[in-house]
């Protein structure tokens, strides 16, 4: 029989990891399918006032105001303490200890988190991931001798580990031999495990999230708790954290925008889109929550630094997200009554130890997070090399930093104001001017034309330039006293046009892009005729 009464929390748990690899919300992006369902279990009990005889038992002179004696529970993995709003918790200390494998551990402090009026809910401590425990004790001391009303301890069982942890391998960044984070491809979007992949619970008002005009910086956190967990358990930690934030703190969703584990796996946090400036609940300051991204490293880093895999993943994540926002890695900005570094620690915003002394030192040390993100902005990839050769005057400003796409033959893409650059096994090529517009109208790299296989080049006709793609060609035609036009010809009709001499043949120059017409047919118009793909698969050639 359960000793601490519980409530079942409806949640969606994953049986496999799911990834997203998109740099923008375009039609050519691929979104991963949803995972299967499951449940998380949150158990809550009141922490009563301490007996009168123990009310002055604290060594530092603070009063012991509440105590839950050690007791057994059902198995749980995460613990946190909350209380009713309206209490000044300055100086209050909350400590817990757990029973694991029949042995009671030492007391551990749960740091109190700041709150802001926009998120609402209940004040509380950071959640503490303990792995597996079946007993809990709580004590609370206060310099005022006052106890907050509604004091409760919640123990959370996140549910079963996803059944296919090997599926997470694509998100693991291998440890590099260097002591600093490698900057290669830092501005490309790293693999990110979607909410559907880690089993996010459905939320309420966060289903229509608050989105600001853009982020101004990043705030780095830790989740607190043991650093000993498996790659498969990471999804449990994220689910348990969301359950604590939603069911115990009464927030609409998990408080962070992203979470990163010690294996370098990146998890999508709060609902609303990985490329959007979604307001989260990560800092305790309303303005900072609204205009920054919250990244939480999974573990405790008071004495131990994050793993190299974590460092690399966090640097790549922030490099990519800053690239989308067009903001630098270094320098300061003012927000919410604070002056913050572009990459700040949680302790810079409110009075907390988060993200731990060792992690906080890493942010600003030589070769640390800020330096790695700053160097990543100029990282060398085929796309950045081409952009450098072309120059800012030709590319224009960066619109979407390099990100992967997974339609065959796979590759990466970056979008600039004046052109797109796409890299695949066929090479790295820019798509620009009216050709770019026509290409996008046909689905870009995920459409009927596929990836580019050449640059834009001269042709047999002086008024025509052309660019080849995996499944077709776009002809850029200069017309007398008329605007430039781009005409796409692809598939079997392109093959027929080329076989009949292309621009040198009797059909002449393309004038209208291939399109569907009545009767299930497709047709391309030329200056001297048409090509028609009939419903029965035959091609009809008409020459004037």
pLDDT tens track of the chain, all 544 residues?
A: 333 333 322 332 333 343 343 333 333 332 233 333 356 788 888 899 888 645 454 455 678 999 999 999 889 999 999 999 989 888 899 999 999 999 999 999 998 886 666 677 899 898 999 889 999 999 999 998 899 999 999 999 987 644 443 333 333 322 333 333 333 333 678 889 999 899 898 766 676 678 887 899 999 999 888 888 999 889 999 999 999 999 999 988 999 999 999 999 999 999 988 888 898 888 888 899 899 999 999 988 988 899 999 999 999 999 888 877 778 888 898 998 999 999 998 899 887 888 889 989 999 999 899 988 887 644 567 887 888 788 888 998 878 777 788 888 989 898 899 999 999 999 999 999 999 999 999 999 999 999 999 999 999 999 999 999 999 999 999 998 899 999 999 999 999 999 999 999 999 999 999 999 999 999 999 999 999 999 999 999 999 8
Question: What percentage of the chain's residues is helix, strand, coil (to nearest 5)?
Answer: 20, 35, 45
Specify the fold of 41-157. Answer: Jelly Rolls (2.60.120)
- CA distance linking residue 207 with residue 246, whole number of Å: 13
HSE of 362, CA atoms in CB hemisphere, 13 A:
28
SS in 3 state form for 430-486? EEEHHHHHHHHHCCHHHCCCCCECCCCEECCCCCEEEEEECCEEEEEECCCCCCCEE
Q: How long is the chain?
A: 544
User: Tokens standing for 424?
Assistant: 């695949």
- CA distance linking residue 289 with residue 216, whole number of Å: 11
Question: Which residue's entry shows tokens 């991204």?
Answer: 293
- CA distance linking residue 210 with residue 384, whole number of Å: 33
Which residues are CB-contacts of 384 (< 8 A; sequence separation ≥ 6)? 187, 378, 402, 414
- pLDDT in the model for residue 6: 32
CATH superfamily of 17-40+162-376: Peptidoglycan recognition protein-like (3.40.80.10)
CATH code 2.60.120 region(s) in the chain = 41-157
Which residues are CB-contacts of 204 (< 8 A; sequence separation ≥ 6)? 252
**What φ, ψ does residue 468 adopt, rounded to 5°?**
-85, 145
- pLDDT in the model for residue 31: 29
Contact by Cβ (8 Å): 65, 145: yes
Query: Closest by alpha carbon to 165, among 17, 298, 40, 12?
Result: 17
Q: Is 266 strand, coil or helix? A: strand
- pLDDT in the model for residue 114: 67
- CA distance linking residue 255 with residue 26, whole number of Å: 27
Q: Is the dihedral of CA 356, 366, 398, 426 positive or negative?
A: negative
- pLDDT in the model for residue 21: 38
- CA distance linking residue 263 with residue 298, whole number of Å: 10
Query: Closest by alpha carbon to 135, among 297, 35, 248, 4?
Result: 4
Quickly list DSSP for 353-373. Answer: -TT-HHHHHHHHSTTSHHHHH
- pLDDT in the model for residue 107: 94
Going from the C-alpha of 271 to that of each of 198, 200, 242, 248, the distances in angstroms are 13, 9, 11, 18
- CA distance linking residue 109 with residue 140, whole number of Å: 10
Q: Is the dihedral of CA 388, 394, 399, 400 positive or negative?
A: negative
- CA distance linking residue 110 with residue 128, whole number of Å: 7
From its phi and psi, is residue 61 left (phi > 0), alpha (psi between -120 and 50) or beta? left
CATH code 3.40.80.10 region(s) in the chain = 17-40+162-376
Q: What's the distance, CA 145 to chain centroid?
A: 43
């Amino acid at each position: 029989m359960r000793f601490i009464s519980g409530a079942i929390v409806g949640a969606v748990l994953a049986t496999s990891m799911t990834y997203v690899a998109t740099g923008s919300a375009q039609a050519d992006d691929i979104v991963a399918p949803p995972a299967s369902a499951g449940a998380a279990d949150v158990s809550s009990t009141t922490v009563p006032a301490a007996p009168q005889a123990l009310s002055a038992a604290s060594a530092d002179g603070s009063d012991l105001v509440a105590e839950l004696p050690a007791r057994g529970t059902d198995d749980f993995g995460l613990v946190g303490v909350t209380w009713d709003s309206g209490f000044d918790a300055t100086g209050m200390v909350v400590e817990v200890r757990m029973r694991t494998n029949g042995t009671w551990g030492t007391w551990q402090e749960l740091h109190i988190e700041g709150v802001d009026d926009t998120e609402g809910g209940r004040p509380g401590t950071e959640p503490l991931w303990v792995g597996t425990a079946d007993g809990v004790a709580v004590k609370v001391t206060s310099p005022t001798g006052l106890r907050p009303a509604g004091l409760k301890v919640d123990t959370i069982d996140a549910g079963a580990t996803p059944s296919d942890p090997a599926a997470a391998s694509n998100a693991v960044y291998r440890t590099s031999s260097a002591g600093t984070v490698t900057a290669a491809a830092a501005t490309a979007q790293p693999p990110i495990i979607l909410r559907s992949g880690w089993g996010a619970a459905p939320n309420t008002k966060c289903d229509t999230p608050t989105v600001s005009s853009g982020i101004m910086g990043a705030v780095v956190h830790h989740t607190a708790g043991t650093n000993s967990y498996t790659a498969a358990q990471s999804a449990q930690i994220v689910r348990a954290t969301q359950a604590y934030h939603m069911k115990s703190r009464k927030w609409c969703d998990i408080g962070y925008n992203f979470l990163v584990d010690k294996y370098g796996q990146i998890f999508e946090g709060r609902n609303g889109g990985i490329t959007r400036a979604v307001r989260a609940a990560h800092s305790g300051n309303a303005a900072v929550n609204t205009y920054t991204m919250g990244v939480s490293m999974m573990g405790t880093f008071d004495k131990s630094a994050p793993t190299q895999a974590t460092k690399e993943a966090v640097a790549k994540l922030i490099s990519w997200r800053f690239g989308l926002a067009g903001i630098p890695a270094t320098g300061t900005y003012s927000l919410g009554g604070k002056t913050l570094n572009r990459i700040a620690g949680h302790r810079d915003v409110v009075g907390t130890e988060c993200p731990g002394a060792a992690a906080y030192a890493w942010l600003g040390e030589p070769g640390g997070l800020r330096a790695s993100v700053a160097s990543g902005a100029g990282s060398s990839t085929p796309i950045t090399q081409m952009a450098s050769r072309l120059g800012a005057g030709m590319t224009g400003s960066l619109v979407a930093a390099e990100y992967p796409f997974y339609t065959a033959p796979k590759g990466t893409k970056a979008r600039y104001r004046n052109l797109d650059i796409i890299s695949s096994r066929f090479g790295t090529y820019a798509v620009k001017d009216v050709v770019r517009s026509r290409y996008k109208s046909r689905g870009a790299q995920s459409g009927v034309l596929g990836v580019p296989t050449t640059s834009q080049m001269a042709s047999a006709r002086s008024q025509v330039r052309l660019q080849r793609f995996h499944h077709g060609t776009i002809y850029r035609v200069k017309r007398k006293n008329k605007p430039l036009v781009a005409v796409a010809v692809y598939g079997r009709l392109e093959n027929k046009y080329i076989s009949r001499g292309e621009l040198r043949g009797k059909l002449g120059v393309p004038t209208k892009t291939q399109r569907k017409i009545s009767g299930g047919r497709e047709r391309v118009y030329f200056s001297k005729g048409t090509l028609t793909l009939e419903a029965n698969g035959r091609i009809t050639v008409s020459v004037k």
